[in-house]
Structure 1
Amino acid sequence: MRTGNEPVTARSALRLRFWLSLWGLVWSGAGAAAFALAARPGWAAACAAVTVLAAVDLAVVLHRIHQGPHYQPGRDVPPYEPPATKP
Structure 2
Amino acid sequence: MRTGSEPATARSPLRMRLWLSVWGMAWAAFGLAAFLVAGRVGWATACGVLLLVALTDCCLVVRHIRQGPHYQPGRDIPPYEPDEASRDDRKP
TM-score between the two structures when normalised by the length of structure 1: 0.87
Q: Which moved more, 1:41-50 or 1:67-76?
A: 67-76
Tell me the matched-pair count.
Answer: 87
- Match in the other structure for 1:35: 35
- Match in the other structure for 1:13: 13
- Match in the other structure for 2:74: 74
Gap runs ≥5 in structure 2: none
AA aligned to 2:17 is: R
**Which secondary structure does the structure 2 equivalent of 1:8 belong to?**
coil
- Match in the other structure for 2:45: 45
Q: 1:77 to 1:32 in 2, by over 3 A?
A: same
CA RMSD in angstroms comes to 1.7
Aligned: 1:54 with 2:54? yes
User: Could you tell me how far 1:17 is from its partner in structure 2?
Assistant: 0.5
TM-score between the two structures when normalised by the length of structure 2: 0.83
In 2, Cα distance between the equivalents of 1:66 and 1:45? 32
